[in-house]
Amino acid sequence: MVGHAVTDGLVIGSAAATGQQELSHVVAFAMIAHKVPASFSLSTLLFSIKWPTAAVLKSMLVFSLSSPLAAVGFYAIKFLVSESDFEKMISWVSSLAPAPTNSKFAN
């Protein structure tokens, strides 16, 4: 689940780095909207298999922080690499997003 959340963060960071505000808002909203049921499901599953409360809270903290940290990290990379390399990275990350998101905002 954390790997999936990191991927969500990469997509959000990629969308923000394009400078297209509408795209950024749509992608961020979609990612946040599906994070709520995922968080509920994960915490319910962990409690149902009798994980200690402290372990569940720690796991939920890691899960919750993984997307925003990945988004900020990917966005920061924009300023550390060449523009052409960053465009290649955005192309790769955009392939992780659902097809309707890609086609709606394609240039």
Contact 18, 24 (CB under 8 A): yes
pTM of the shown model: 0.72
pLDDT tens column, 17-53: 878 888 888 888 888 888 888 889 999 999 999 999 9
Q: Alpha-carbon Rg of the chain, whole angstroms?
A: 15
Q: Count CA atoms closer than 13 A to 102's CA, side-chain side.
A: 11
Which position has the higher pLDDT, 89 or 40?
Answer: 40
Q: What is the mean pLDDT of residues 3-19?
A: 82
